[in-house]
Chains A and B, each alone.
Chain A
Amino acid sequence: MGEIELNIGPVHPATHGVLRLKARVEKDTVLGGDVEIGYLHRAMEKIAEQRLFNSFFPNVDKLEYVSALNWEILYASVLEKALGIDIPPRAKYIRVILAEIQRIMSHLIFIGAFGQDLGNITVFTWALRERELLMDIVEKISGGRLAPMYLRVGGTEYDLPEGFDSMILPVLDRLEEKVNKDYKAVTYENSLFKMRTKGVGVLTRDTVKKYGITGPNMRASGIERDLRRSEPYFVYDSLDFDIPVEDAGDSYARFMVRIREIQESIKILRQAVRALPKGNYINKQPWMFKIPPTEAFVRQECPRGEGAMFLVTDGGMKAYRLKIRSPSFYTVQAMPEIIKGARVADLFTIIASLDPVMGEVDR
């Protein structure tokens, strides 16, 4: 059996959406491959130039459908920076709470999808079961589930519901117990799981720097960098949390970083809920507004890495240009380098461990 070209995707159960991978395979070894993206391209940046500033919020939700709230917060922040307005402290805390809830939800999806790609469907259903608890909370806050459309310029659409802390604290306890016990048993302390993930798909520090990979994938390669710590926005500087870092750079390290980030997010959520101040939750702006000619750049720590938006306005009611920097895009570019020399079976777990979301890659 000589060298064959194996076409994986865009419709393949293990490619997390519509990633297409053309891998050259000999026997059980991957010689190399090319990544093709663009199957989910919706011209989001162009749409942003056609719509009112507020009317683009629903599209931001669909940008990265696994962590919609993080991107909504990012978009709201860039508009506020361009407008030059400040938001009330309660809104800042609400945004931190939302961002961390969404981060946990996104990492749970990662855990589930990764477990499933390793052949253990139980992990997937378990992760979705815990995600559902948080999903219910998001639903109670915003009325939406996958695409909440909750953020507004200057704050949020509504205040948090009454009795919010009694709603979320039991969920956090349960989540912590599940992550520390059940997930431990079937995933990160399981020897079969370790066999499949340790030393697989190693991402070196050089590769990380070469391609501009950020987020958990970078921190799994031993680079300690988190915008929540290095450039604190909202109220992250007043909260106590650790930045999980692993040195190995393999699939197992990437998994462990995300597991520990869930634990840190739980810590952040507990503090933020306790410290949540009373008062106004929105610095109300009109629905239609103009932004004077200016440029604004905001970057924040999204679940998959550093998300950034660069907004250029020309004084009208629509953006002149909105550039979106999506972290998964850079991760996907590094894929051909990582999969070189891997086994065919590992090809799919490497893709899963990098956790790309194609809606964000293609935009």
Chain B
Amino acid sequence: MIINFFYTIVREFFSVRVSILLSVIILFIIALILTVAAPLILGWVDRKFAARMQSRYGPMYVGKFGLLQNVADFIKLLGKDVLSNAYVDGLAFNIAPLLSSAFAVAMISIIPLGSASLEIINLPYNLLFIYIFMALSPLLVMLGGWGENNKFALLGAFRGTAQMITYELSVLVVFMSIAFVSGSFDISAIVLSQSMVWNAVYFPVLFLVFIIGSLAVIERAPFDMPESSQELQAGWRIEYSGLRYGLLIVGDYVKLLVISMLAVYLFLGGWNGPLLPPLAWFWIKTAIVILVLMSFRWSLNRPRIDQLLDIGWKWLLPLGVLNLVAVMVLWA
């Protein structure tokens, strides 16, 4: 537990109440730093990896290997004028990016960061809580898309909402199956239950459903229909710029990170592994999953929204439900 660690340090200098407050503030700052670090590091990996696939160099000049390119871009976004046109609905327009990044901080705080004790907030049902924060994202898309008062944004928002609602169901079914098998919605318990055999070996279909469904939920290419930069020019984000856009990007990359971590926790045995320390195992697996998800983005084109919804309702959800029923029958 990180909070206990900080509490014992702070407690030596201050009274009980002050040290609780102080350690909470410290934890919040850590969560904030992690949230901002995710897009900076993952963004660099994404750009460099994409560049390698496309025989380009990618970022090169800011820092060694262009490592600081995303920091520079982020600072640029912070320094930009806070613009919005006259027609936007101020409240909806402004609250969407704020909530998006707030959810990102919340997800980072809830999920264990590579070992059972390394979580910022300790909740018994952390898988469910993460799902709740992911399930709220259609609301954000609708809020933002409506608030922008733009036809392209509205089209993108409708697409986004339909897509996320469809695929969240599949993801929920996957979570339920896994929770049923391991008997808990607690990620540590789920990891513990896979100490012998990974869940991916038992449930390859569920793993597939989870990967496809979660990619669609986080609007990651090739399922980025709500944004589809070539058709809708950015979809529901068309009016966002500067700091607001930066906040949305933060939310994006944190979601990608959380999805990759969940894939490792739920299906690939979490931090279990021989020889190497658990933390190393976990992050190696997560890195591989992230790279695989990124390679989908740069090698596939996006399907049409109605085709995507077809896949979701007619294939993924029935497959997931069948698997759930099978799991219940076999394990009960």
Contacts and interface: CB of A to CB of B under 8 A. Distances in A.
Contacts of A121: 50, 54, 298
Contact of A125 (B56, B152, B155, B230): B56
The 8 closest A-B pairs by CB, nearest first: A118-B301, A125-B54, A119-B302, A120-B301, A348-B231, A119-B301, A345-B304, A14-B230
Contacts, number: 83
A192 B305 CA distance: 12
A13 B152 CA distance: 13
14 contacts: A1-B154, A6-B151, A28-B306, A119-B221, A119-B302, A123-B301, A125-B54, A126-B54, A186-B299, A192-B301, A192-B302, A196-B303, A196-B304, A345-B305
Nearest to A117: B230
Contact of B300 (A28, A190, A343): A190
Given A186-B299, A196-B303, A344 B54 contact: no
Given A13-B233, A125-B54, A345-B231, A119 B224 contact: yes
Interface in B46-83: 50, 53-56
A9 to B, nearest CB: 11
Interface string A327-350: 000000000000000011111100
A195 interface: yes
Interface of A: 1, 4, 6, 12-14, 25, 28, 115-123, 125-126, 129, 186, 190, 192-193, 195-196, 343-348
Nearest to B234: A13
Sorting the interface of chain B by its residue count into under 10, 10 to 19, 20 to 34 or 35 or more gives 20 to 34
A113 B303 CA distance: 17
A179 to B, nearest CB: 16
B55 A126 contact: yes
Contacts of A6: 151-152, 155
B225 interface: yes
A134 to B, nearest CB: 16
Given A121-B54, A125-B54, A195-B307, A12 B233 contact: yes
A129 B151 contact: no
A193 B301 contact: yes
Contacts of B222: 119-120, 192
A192 B307 CA distance: 10
B229 interface: yes
A50 B155 CA distance: 49
Contacts of B241: none
B19 interface: no
Contacts of A190: 300-301
Question: Dominant SS at the A interface?
Answer: helix
Interface in B186-225: 221-222, 224-225
B228 interface: yes
B154 to A, nearest CB: 8
A345 B151 contact: no
Interface in B271-293: none
Nearest to A116: B230
B55 A125 contact: yes
Contacts of A28: 155, 305-306
A122 B304 contact: no
A335 B222 CA distance: 27
Given A115-B301, A346-B304, A122 B231 contact: no
A13 B306 CA distance: 23
A120 B231 CA distance: 12
B298 A344 contact: no
Nearest to B310: A195
A116 B228 CA distance: 11
A118 B233 contact: no
Contacts of A14: 230-231
A114 to B, nearest CB: 10
A117 B232 CA distance: 11
A28 B50 CA distance: 31
Contacts of A120: 222, 298-302
Contacts of B225: 345
A84 to B, nearest CB: 49
B55 A119 contact: no
Nearest to B307: A195
B158 to A, nearest CB: 8
Contacts of B55: 125-126, 129
A161 B269 CA distance: 62
Interface in B147-163: 151-152, 154-155, 158
Interface in B139-180: 151-152, 154-155, 158
Interface in B223-271: 224-225, 228-231, 233
A33 to B, nearest CB: 14
A192 B306 contact: no
Contacts of A1: 154, 158
Given A14-B230, A117-B230, A118-B301, A343 B53 contact: no
A122 B305 contact: no
A123 B298 CA distance: 9
Interface string B295-327: 000111111111100000000000000000000
A192 B301 CA distance: 7
A117 B225 CA distance: 12
A123 B230 CA distance: 14
Contacts of B151: 4, 6
A6 B302 CA distance: 22
A13 B300 contact: no
A122 B221 contact: no
